[in-house]
Amino acid sequence: MGDQSMDQRIFARGDLSAFWALFTDNLINLMVLAGVCQFVFQMPAEIVYGRILPGAAIAIVSGVAAYVWLAKRAAKTHGRPVTAMPYGISTPVMFVYLFGVIGPIFWSTGDALLAWQVGIAAGFIGGIVAAFGAIIGPWLKRVTPRAGMLGTLCGIALVFIGTVPMAEVFESPYVGFASLIIILWGLVGRFRLPGNMPAGLLALIVGTLVALAIGEARISTEGVGLYLPLPWIGDLMTGIAYLWQTPELFLVLVPVQIYNFIETMNNVESAEAAGDSYPVATAQVIDGAGTMLGALFGSPFPTTAYIGHPAYKGMGARSGYIIGVGAVIPLAAILGLLAFLNNLIPLAAAAPILIFVALSLVTSTAGAVRPAHIAAVTIAMIPHVSSFLMIKWGSLLNALRETGVEGLPNLGDEALTAALLQQGAHYTGHLALSQGAIITGLIWGAIVASLIDGEFRRAAGFALAASAMSLVGIIHGASLHWPSLDPVAMGYLIIAAFLYLYPLVDAKAGERGAGEDSPA
């Protein structure tokens, strides 16, 4: 068992670098959601800085406390050091809540207060759905091949956590390159930095100093003040009442919260692949409870166990890094310092830290799955590329409208879809792949991994599950709907039938697959 006092220490040298990486990840999310709420949805600073950010701080503190306890228990159980699960606002779900829940209310009513009230109601109900994932989470984790779960996370990491920040680096190369080379030198190359300074901290300092020198950052005390977190029970009840009168919003909430508890499950699997085992059901309850608590105190945005545990473990972190984030982020939110940091730290200085997280997740996955399962990991990544394309195509049209171009068609317009196809842009196919991308990636990764192992019945079960989810719009649909046997659902049924029947006609089916890592 080793030295128990050593095994259960919650602070280590690696926590310093890990803190700056996780702090930056959370900070960017909070900066983005604050900016969108204030400048796109016209919410007053009193709501953004006085309610939403303090509510998010409460959610983060509660989740951090729970995951530190979970890590301490795991270290005691296994008799060795463990790295606590990273935790914060779920980035993909944050955007769904912004533009799928809060945005439609604001655009239809022009009432920013009501949009926020409906947002916290949606967050509270969504937290309940996420917590219920604990009922099926352990079983789902047990039957799903690791390649499927980690592969769909690699897709998110490559496209959203790696590609987007890399673009931000190239948009501001003086700042971005100065920060990026320090991250590559200190965290990827693992060279010792002067004075053992954490690479993440040095990258932020250097990038910010360069930005100040060239005028891409500024020091401003605007927004600094005291914002104590308070429960907003009356506003929550108003939002819930509005939701009951607008049931179509539940068609957005349910699929995205299914996504959220599956994201938690995948991130727990990622931690296990890196050597730290946590109970998935407990993690899902923690995430759901944190989301509900945050909503009660004013934050609409779901929290989750973060992607990137292998990166933090690779830095040598234990629990100190999330304790640091759980102290600094709430303090910054309560004192209004997030507005100050938003002005001071440019995205290009922080982006390289996210690039490192993406690199770590993809490389750790390559070492955590059998070589033969790399094909399953690869196919699981593909739907996220489609998701990225759909988001950027939509952003392009919105940007054209904002510049004064009139008469533009909406995405999905028949003539536009035909024109895109002529240019080699397969809108219809990418749209289908993008809807429920994390679940779709998991499904296809599981099918391929099971097929490689000769587990035809298991592969058929995943195809059948995909058909059922496609029937009602959980995947490959814009929203939930009554069962509809569309071509995609039929396609999954055909695959399931083939995989189920093939072993019946071929007695040797499955003899090649299991145990073979070399190509046929």
What is residue 143's predicted lDDT score, i.e. its pLDDT?
81
pLDDT tens-place string over residues 166-177 = 998 999 999 999
Residues 331 and 395 grouped into a single domain: no
In this structure, are residues 283 and 268 in contact, taking their beta carbons and an 8 Å threshold? Answer: yes
Residues 265 and 382 grouped into a single domain: no
424: pLDDT strictly greater than 70: yes
Residues 328 and 409 grouped into a single domain: no
What is residue 4's predicted lDDT score, i.e. its pLDDT?
43
511: pLDDT strictly greater than 60: no
Q: Is residue 461 part of a domain?
A: yes
Give the DSSP letter string of 103-154. HHHHHHH--HHHHHHHHHHHHHHHHHHHHHHHHHHHHHHHHS-HHHHHHHHH
What is residue 429's predicted lDDT score, i.e. its pLDDT?
93
Which of 343, 368, 393 finishes a domain? 368
What is residue 518's predicted lDDT score, i.e. its pLDDT?
42
Buried b (16+ CB within 10 A) or exposed e, 463-497: bbbbbbbbbbbbbbbebeeeeeeeebbeebbebbe
What is residue 8's predicted lDDT score, i.e. its pLDDT?
56
Using a cut of 0.85, tell me whether the model's pTM lies above it. Answer: no
344: pLDDT strictly greater than 80: yes
89: pLDDT strictly greater than 60: yes
Residues 93 and 56 grouped into a single domain: yes
Residues 336 and 383 grouped into a single domain: no
423: pLDDT strictly greater than 70: yes
Greatest mean pLDDT among 310-319, 349-358, 424-433? 424-433
What is residue 488's predicted lDDT score, i.e. its pLDDT?
94
Average confidence (pLDDT) over 436-457: 90
92: pLDDT strictly greater than 70: no
Which of 306, 341, 368 finishes a domain? 368
What is residue 2's predicted lDDT score, i.e. its pLDDT?
41
Residues 362 and 392 grouped into a single domain: no
Q: Which two tokens stand for residue 431?
A: 């749209």
Which of 285-294, 413-422, 508-517 is predicted least confidently? 508-517
Beta bridge partners of 303: 89
Q: Tell me what the pLDDT averaged over the chain comes to.
A: 83
d(CA 313, CA 224): 34
Helix axes 250-273, 146-156, angle to 10 degrees: 110
Q: What is the DSSP letter of 89?
A: E
What is residue 433's predicted lDDT score, i.e. its pLDDT?
92
What is residue 253's predicted lDDT score, i.e. its pLDDT?
64
Average confidence (pLDDT) over 152-158: 82
Residues 143 and 25 grouped into a single domain: yes
d(CA 212, CA 4): 47
180: pLDDT strictly greater than 90: yes
What is residue 512's predicted lDDT score, i.e. its pLDDT?
53
Residues 73 and 34 grouped into a single domain: yes
What is residue 448's predicted lDDT score, i.e. its pLDDT?
95
Average confidence (pLDDT) over 237-257: 73
Q: Domain range for residue 495?
A: 377-505
Q: Is residue 4 part of a domain?
A: no
d(CA 396, CA 408): 11
Which of 333, 368, 403 finishes a domain? 368
376: pLDDT strictly greater than 60: yes
- In this structure, the dihedral spanned by the alpha carbons of residues 294, 28, 64 and 161, taken in order and rounded to 10 degrees, is 110
305: pLDDT strictly greater than 90: no
Whole-angstrom CA distances from 189 to 73, 177, 358, 367 are 32, 16, 15, 18
What is residue 517's predicted lDDT score, i.e. its pLDDT?
53
Total count of domains within the chain: 2
**Rg from Cα positions in the chain:** 23
Q: Is residue 157 part of a domain?
A: yes
240: pLDDT strictly greater than 70: yes
What is residue 387's predicted lDDT score, i.e. its pLDDT?
87
Q: Is residue 481 part of a domain?
A: yes
d(CA 58, CA 60): 5
Residues 356 and 384 grouped into a single domain: no
d(CA 211, CA 189): 25
In this structure, are residues 446 and 141 in contact, taking their beta carbons and an 8 Å threshold? Answer: no
368: pLDDT strictly greater than 90: no
Q: Which two tokens stand for residue 141?
A: 């984790």
| C-alpha closest to that of 122 among 33, 261, 233, 236 | 236
∠ CA 383-156-454, nearest 5°, is 60
What is residue 5's predicted lDDT score, i.e. its pLDDT?
44
Residues 417 and 479 grouped into a single domain: yes
What is residue 259's predicted lDDT score, i.e. its pLDDT?
65
d(CA 119, CA 429): 31
What is residue 133's predicted lDDT score, i.e. its pLDDT?
75
Where does the pLDDT of residue 520 fall: very low under 50, low under 70, confident under 90, or very high at 90 and above?
A: very low
Contacts of 350 (CB under 8 A, 6+ apart): 24, 27, 28, 179, 204, 207
pLDDT tens-place string over residues 205-231 = 899 999 999 988 888 777 778 888 899
In this structure, are residues 502 and 443 in contact, taking their beta carbons and an 8 Å threshold? Answer: no
Contacts of 90 (CB under 8 A, 6+ apart): 260, 263, 301, 302, 303, 304
Q: Is residue 513 part of a domain?
A: no
| C-alpha closest to that of 439 among 515, 492, 372, 369 | 492
Where does the pLDDT of residue 6 fall: very low under 50, low under 70, confident under 90, or very high at 90 and above?
A: very low
What is residue 7's predicted lDDT score, i.e. its pLDDT?
47
Which of 118-127, 151-160, 256-265, 293-302 is predicted least confidently? 256-265
What is residue 249's predicted lDDT score, i.e. its pLDDT?
63
Average confidence (pLDDT) over 87-93: 77
Q: Is residue 518 part of a domain?
A: no
Count of beta carbons in the 10 Å neighbourhood of residue 500: 16
73: pLDDT strictly greater than 70: yes
Average confidence (pLDDT) over 408-425: 89
128: pLDDT strictly greater than 70: yes
Q: Is residue 2 part of a domain?
A: no
What is residue 250's predicted lDDT score, i.e. its pLDDT?
64
Residues 31 and 76 grouped into a single domain: yes
Q: Is residue 91 part of a domain?
A: yes
pLDDT tens-place string over residues 37-60 = 877 778 888 898 889 999 999 999
Residues 307 and 411 grouped into a single domain: no
Average confidence (pLDDT) over 121-137: 82
Where does the pLDDT of residue 233 fall: very low under 50, low under 70, confident under 90, or very high at 90 and above?
A: very high
3: pLDDT strictly greater than 60: no
Higher pLDDT, 409 or 339: 409
What is residue 439's predicted lDDT score, i.e. its pLDDT?
83
